[in-house]
A and B are shown apart, each in its own frame.
Chain A
Amino acid sequence: MATMTSAAKGTPTGSRKLVEMNWDPITRIVGSLGIFTKIDFDNRQVAECHSTSSIFRGYSIFMKGKDPRDAHFITSRICGICGDNHATCATYAQNMAFGVRPPAMAEWIVNLGEAAEYMFDHNIFQDNLVGVDFCEQMVKETNPGVLEKAEKKAAPGSNLHGYRTIADIMRALNPFTGSFYREALQMSRMTREMFCLMEGRHVHPSTLYPGGVGTVPTIQLFTDYLVRLMKYVEFMKKVVPLHDDLFDFFYEALPGYEEVGRRRVLLGCWGSFNDPAECDYTYKNMSKWGKKMYVTPGIVVDGKLVTTDLVDINLNIRILLGSSYYEGWENGEKFVKNDPLGNPVDQNHPWNQTTTPKPQKRDFAGKYTWVMSPRWLDKRTGDHLAIDTGGGPIARLWATALAGLVDIGYIKSTGSSVKMYLPKTTSLPEVEFEWKIPKWSNAIERDRARTYFQVYAASAALYFVEQALAELHAGRTKTWSEFTVPSEAIGCGFHEAVRGVLSHHVVIRDGKIANYHPYPPTPWNANPRDIYGTPGPYEDAVQNTPIFEENGPDKFKGIDIMRAVRSFDPCLPCGVHMYLGNGKTIETHHSPMFGMNA
């Protein structure tokens, strides 16, 4: 059955004058995304929205029959900004299928690599891509009144980050010419160096394998990482107050801004950073070791933690069609009837999915996308929940905060917040940051959580460096465990890609891949209306978003829509377009065309 996905926003009824506007492609994201909207300018609100994808590559098809050891090398290529998350998740699934447990040192090296990925990726997206939506040039073009206020508004944290007014922060975010924009870009390189120390290459790693890593653990390796990490720690001590100042200002300058990109709290997190003392990669023990991850897996519905159990999470994943260019597989082969614990596995579960593409014309009243509609079945209500990842951090922090399980010296989950400790650095004293559960799942809070999760990743990395060095000092330098590929096996991996939930499901027969289905975060966020008519999270979050932009239809830039969509950190090598569904179209405009710049 379908389920309500919107927070109540009081949709007006009756005849409305709707203006159709589209932006195709949406830039400053990874992948190609377009947005087609119908806007009610009289009531300053987005009326409707659909979501569709423009690219199909067919991983699940061409991986069939290939050697299962190749899966992580191949699936890394799914994504050009978090490919390593795929490679890592694939090795988790391989480890389960091959029955191999890597040495502890390998887990610390992977955790350090993945922590560096979060530090890099959130940083470049936040300050070089999303940040431009909040920069002076943009605000001047969309909300001159807001810029005027920003000029007069002293930044509360100016003693920490060095920018006197909010407008100074905005100027620092101007692309390429802004000082903070360039500092962040440079920092994104240093964190990628940290990544390369652990995983060889960014973005498709060279040193990951099933069974462990090829990285050679040395004093030099961890020292090179640590000195860079401490520079990032110092950087974050300025970045958190900078973003808090900027985001708080938007609530203050534009009352009601909390409604932009707001939707019902339906968040999923599949957990990140395995604890080598606990994680044996068996499905049988997955509930137990999943809860020991250093980012807690969990599903949050209306602010309540529904589960933290990876087996529960796994079994209730459903892949639905409805508006996508594929044939159904209800009569397809059932690869996995029961999981290793004996639980029945649904035909619409990724283990049993058969992908058969059916290219066709884009028809917004019918099939309009290459993205399928992943849902999570809430057994309590029978709802197929269109959960989102909120771009990753907000779901990770929310689930971890409520679960109250993480306590590693540098990070403590309190049941309602997450505390993170950063030690003294070259020029700044020790600091504690606390992320508190926000009132809304909206654009600003998704963006704010991103900054705080950068701190989380750095704090976790400080712990991982200590653990890795302890292994090294004890002489335990083995990084790889031998394995043989079984002729028949199944496996699954759960991880957090930078922008949210990531799972890989594999079925092995005759020593080859018989079925492989990866589910990255963007299909969860960017999907279309499913067979029940439930819209995907982007569609839902953009729909009914209020318009605060000062421009009318003639110069409309759609900045509030852009902020709503980009808050999800779209990563669209699985491409997305957004479009308005039914409803009467009065006028059609493209986004305004300006003359050529010199």
Chain B
Amino acid sequence: MTPEAVPYGRKTQRPSPVSDIHILWITAGLGCDGDSVSITAATQPSIEDVLLGAIPGLPKVHLHNPVLAYEVGDEFMKYWYEAEKGRLDPFVLVVEGSIPNEKIKKEGYWAGLGTDPKSGQPITTNEWISRLAPKALAVVACGTCATYGGIHAMQGNPTGAMGLADYLGWDWKSKAGLPIVNVPGCPVQPDNFMETLLYLLYQVAGLAPMIPLDDQLRPTWLFGSTVHDGCDRAGYYEQGDFAEVYGSPKCIVKLGCWGPVVNCNVPKRGWMAGIGGCPNVGGICIGCTMPGFPDKFMPFMDEPPGAKISAASITLYGKAIRSLRSFTNATVNKEPKWRHSRPELTTGYRPGAY
């Protein structure tokens, strides 16, 4: 960016160096579309703010998301084929849902989008990702299924589901040099996702430096703190005053809340418009933003093992607790070992008939 003088009023109204950008959004992973639905709740910014040009300095954004699209069928799919041919440039690829392992069976499909005109069979979601990821300016995994595998990658699952980085590789880089951007959450917190998308659009427009990500590829400004750090019930914790029953306004760590070791800003931010959340409104944190979700947090309603130690030693502030927590935090920041792209199913489910 050159610091040359800009006439009054033209600072942000100048055209973006990239005039148009497309967002191709695949919802056809193993998911529930809850992340697409979630982003319709966002207001900071809202989807219409971004699409109707309400944020200054950005390129014109064309969204191709099946939940919201005007077009149907081939009219909708034409953007996918154009992108594959390199004629839809630049575009950001958003992936929603876990990536199934299509290599563990002889035939058929776990997840597909559109029909192959030659074979008449569905085109698998994995095939689309392989075709489009190399052409994308950036690839964003939206929600915990796409980031780390999530619910559908639970122990004993029949599909061998995994996260996008397990599929493409954790050190994968886009043609513009960006790593996969992970925005976890089950579903994704609405504003967390739209804010990340907005950041990437700023970056495309040359108005922001490289997006800062942690080693789990999460935006650092959103996932740098724990649930507990932002929870308004932490005062009860500090006083060793714990809820014994659900519905109490006190700290619910003994009732199954994993807040102290989970990277997430929801209690601080609320779910939407500052309303709702998890432990701040009486819902135990089940670790839904984490690579170890859900397996490392189940059974959800039991007291977390780490919490036992730290709750008991709450009078001994400081380093001791932090190091105990960072140990647990490191454990739940790792995915279970059965989430991989090898051509074998190691989840514990023994299929008879694949």
Interface residues of A (CB under 8 A from B): 22-32, 34-35, 54-58, 61-62, 64-67, 69-70, 73-74, 77-81, 83, 106, 124, 128-129, 132, 137-138, 175-177, 182, 185, 188-189, 192-193, 195-197, 199-209, 211-217, 224, 325, 327, 356-362, 477-480, 482, 557-558, 562, 573, 577, 590-594, 596, 598
Contacts and interface: CB of A to CB of B under 8 A. Distances in A.
Given A79-B32, A358-B353, A361-B121, A62 B156 contact: yes
B105 A200 contact: no
A373 B233 CA distance: 47
Contact of A176 (B38, B52, B276): B52
15 contacts: A24-B114, A57-B157, A58-B159, A62-B152, A79-B32, A185-B40, A189-B273, A192-B41, A193-B275, A196-B275, A200-B276, A207-B282, A557-B72, A562-B72, A577-B115
A360 B111 CA distance: 12
Given A73-B300, A357-B158, A124 B271 contact: no
Nearest to B298: A70
Contacts of A32: 27-28, 66, 112-113
Nearest to A106: B247
A316 B301 CA distance: 34
Contacts of B246: 209, 211-214, 479-480
Nearest to B87: A596
B93 to A, nearest CB: 17
A596 B273 CA distance: 37
Interface stretch (B4-12, B75-83, B197-205, B325-333): B75-83
Nearest to B121: A362
B209 interface: no
Contact of A24 (B73, B105, B277): B73
A359 B288 contact: no
A594 B156 contact: no
Contact of A215 (B28, B38, B112, B247): B247
A204 B48 contact: no
B186 to A, nearest CB: 6
A356 B350 CA distance: 10
Contact of B34 (A79, A124, A214, A358): A79
- Interface size class of chain B, counting residues whose CB lies under 8 Å from the partner chain: 35 or more
Contacts of B285: 206
Given A65-B156, A197-B276, A77 B281 contact: no
A475 to B, nearest CB: 14
Contact of B73 (A129, A203, A358, A591): A591
A129 B70 CA distance: 9
A94 to B, nearest CB: 11
A480 B249 CA distance: 13
A24 B80 CA distance: 12
A203 B158 CA distance: 25
Given A182-B48, A196-B272, A200-B278, A77 B34 contact: yes
A57 B159 contact: yes
Contacts of B177: none
A55 B111 contact: yes
Contact of A593 (B32, B78, B154, B245): B78
Interface string B9-25: 00000000000100000
Given A209-B246, A216-B281, A479-B247, A204 B34 contact: yes
B50 to A, nearest CB: 11
A297 B299 CA distance: 33
Contacts of A217: 247
Contact of B283 (A177, A214, A477, A562): A214
B259 to A, nearest CB: 11
A574 to B, nearest CB: 10
A593 B248 contact: no
B36 interface: yes
A593 B74 contact: yes
Contacts of A195: 276
B76 A27 contact: yes
B41 A28 contact: no
Contacts of B159: 56-58
A598 to B, nearest CB: 8
B309 interface: no
Contacts of B245: 478, 480, 482
A577 B113 CA distance: 10
A492 to B, nearest CB: 21
